Structure 1
Amino acid sequence: MKTIRFTFIAALAFAACAVAAHAEPLTLTFSHGTPTTHPEHLAALKFARRVEERTQGQIRFEIFPAGQLGSENEVLEKVRLGALDMAASTQNYLIKYEKAFAVITMPYVFDNYEHAHRVLDGPAMTWLAPLAKKQGFVMLSNWEWGFRNLTNNQRPINQPGDVRGLRIRVPPVLGLEATMQALGAQISKIGFNELPLALSQGMVDGQENPLNVIYFFKLHEAQKHLALTRHVYYNQVHLMSAKSWARLTPAQQTIVREESKAAGDGARKAIIAEEDELIAKMAAAGVKVTRPDPRPFRAMMEPAHQKIKLLAGEENVRKFLNMVEDERRP
């Protein structure tokens, strides 16, 4: 009887494995806004390939780069509703769902990339991920966007006073608006898709973005000056719809998280490693590059910090700045 019973259990196990092996694969949609030449797209391809390999083809991805499925606001709303499965988006777009995310855009709080990564991968992730989950988003891991820098067509920027009066395009993000206003710039909120034309026609004097955005979206082609102000660190987060997440088995969830982290780490290394090369390429194309001392810029940021406090909440800002200080290294 024991032999028959064990044989029956083994047969059931074999049948279950056979069903799983022949089950229809789960195809998930993955949207991001960068062009196919950008390191983030290469990271997305690596992530998709590794997940498919490790799940033996049971999870596959359709990747839609370069904003094919809409603006980041539109894409995130689709992810929240479960109409899209996954996105890589800069973390500021989560502010509309949870005000605490506004703390990430505080100017001049991080000493360098390593400092920003320690905070955002560690205590900030522990704090913010559950808040995102309540809004329908699973934060898989942090990827990279980079420190933001300032370009313009009027003059080199070596000190804060050089920014005063410049017409600078910024995204509709309070932290960025407040940063440029604290330096005396005139703010323009032209859409990103219209920005290259606006720069070439002189509708604005300049804009601010990470180096990889300035280069890969060819914004430098319409600008004379690049100042490495590094005024705000911008994080990109790899997100999944909570509804789509619930469709995965625990084992599949583990694989997705692990490969998201691995792909994000690779994107970080690639983006940071190529910054000097991108600066050299833009300089070779005729862009004049300056490296202003950040200390006088940082000294002017209190008005920006106060505006972010009003949006994010004073307690959230205090909590975040404590994390920043705790992760600071001598």
Structure 2
Amino acid sequence: MSVLATVLSVTTLHSVQAATELRLAHFAAEDHPAQIAALQFKKNVEARTNGEVVVELYPANELGSPPEQLEQTVLGVVDMNLPTQGALDKYVKAFATVMTPFAFKSYDEAHQVLDGPFMDWVAPQLEEKGLVMLSNWEYGFRNVTNSVRPINSPEDMAGLKLRTPPEVQIVASLEALGAQTTQIAFPELPGALTAGVVDGQENPISVIYHNKLYELQHNLALTHHVYNSMVHVINKDKWDSLSADEQKIVREESVSAGNLMRKLVQDEEASDLAKIKAAGVEVTEPDLAQFKAKMGPAYERVKAYAGEENMKTFMSFLGK
């Protein structure tokens, strides 16, 4: 090998070794707004750092279930993750308050609270657990689908057997309405719906659409019973290894990607609903005040889980 070739080889090797890799894992489908936002994050971080920081994406539970991904991020096996508050509350109970049934009236209210006083409150607590909170992304208001009957009132929920994730807030809200709940891993949900193991399930519109759950259910009720979002977190040791300039870029692009996801989710909901209706699904918009009026038992369960002081603090952010 010539001297010039040797120099070029060493220079290339040094360049490759100098790049910092950030591995970002999440659970959303590859055509979901979360992955589109993650792709923007990757592109912009790499461009702004001149390739000195490289982002590798692992969507659709490629590196394990959501709880496993988050645990790997805490341990530093994965660098970054996009868990929901329901996953983070296993580490910091204050996160459990966000999913209080019917806490938020709108996306704007949720964003103002989560980006403002809530983040100021929980970010230092999360850092003690080995995670740095970069920004809030989106997921959405959750809604119920089923194959039994249209839902127009709380009474229509009685007796329905619904799949939920394990979050107590979601379970409590549906059981307060008279539904029966069972926990089934998300990858197994389509099979469970097809086999009639459960009558229905609940998720944000984007999940119902992008995972084609509407093809397995005849009824969709816009219940908006719980709001939650993805939260962009990074392992603290990895964060501390970045330069101040790199940290600034990563945080700014995280916020930008979160804003993109918020816009995509909200913009797509109307078109997703139109496509769901066109597929023959009956979509109902029940009076949510009637549903909220049934939440007494659910609020007690959430308060017991999240902690009374945490609930007081959270409710103060809502002016309650």
Distance in structure 2 (CA, Å) of the matches to 1:268 and 1:40: 9
1:206 is aligned with what amino acid? Answer: G
Distance in structure 2 (CA, Å) of the matches to 1:23 and 1:205: 53
**Unpaired runs of at least 5, structure 1:** 1-19
Distance in structure 1 (CA, Å) of the matches to 2:105 and 2:16: 51
Percent identical residues: 48
Q: Which residue of structure 2 lines up, in the alignment, with residue 138 of structure 1?
A: 132
Would the alpha carbon gap of residues 153 and 23 (structure 1) be closer, same or farther in structure 2, given more than 3 Å must change? closer
Equivalent of 1:235 in 229, 239, 243? 229
Deviation at 1:123, TM superposition (A): 0.4
Q: Which residue of structure 1 lines up, in the alignment, with residue 156 of structure 2?
A: 162
SS at match of 1:289: strand
Deviation at 1:101, TM superposition (A): 1.2
Q: Which residue of structure 1 lines up, in the alignment, with residue 10 of structure 2?
A: none
Tell me the number of residue pairs that the alignment of Structure 1 and Structure 2 aligns: 307
Q: Which residue of structure 1 lines up, in the alignment, with residue 244 of structure 2?
A: 250
Q: Which runs of 4+ in 1 moved over 6 A?
A: 20-23
1:139 is aligned with what amino acid? Answer: M
Distance in structure 1 (CA, Å) of the matches to 2:114 and 2:39: 24
| Residue-by-residue CA offset, 1:226-262 (whole Å, 9 max, x unaligned) | 0001111011101101111011011110110000000
Give TM-score scaled by structure 1 length: 0.91
Equivalent of 1:290 in 280, 284, 287? 284
Counterpart check, 1:302 vs 2:296: yes
Give TM-score scaled by structure 2 length: 0.94
Q: Which residue of structure 2 lines up, in the alignment, with residue 213 of structure 1?
A: 207
Distance in structure 2 (CA, Å) of the matches to 1:84 and 1:155: 43
Distance in structure 2 (CA, Å) of the matches to 1:186 and 1:138: 37
Deviation at 1:325, TM superposition (A): 1.8
Deviation at 1:91, TM superposition (A): 1.7
Query: RMSD of aligned C-alpha atoms?
Result: 1.2
Deviation at 1:99, TM superposition (A): 1.5
1:73 is aligned with what amino acid? Answer: P
1:82 is aligned with what amino acid? Answer: G
| Residue-by-residue CA offset, 1:247-300 (whole Å, 9 max, x unaligned) | 101111011000000011011001101101111101111110000011010111
| Residue-by-residue CA offset, 1:114-154 (whole Å, 9 max, x unaligned) | 00000001000000111111111111000000000000000
**Unpaired runs of at least 5, structure 2:** 1-13
Deviation at 1:95, TM superposition (A): 1.3
Counterpart check, 1:55 vs 2:49: yes
1:249 is aligned with what amino acid? Answer: S
Equivalent of 1:107 in 101, 121, 128? 101
Larger Rg: 1
SS at match of 1:325: coil
Deviation at 1:27, TM superposition (A): 1.2
Distance in structure 2 (CA, Å) of the matches to 1:294 and 1:198: 28
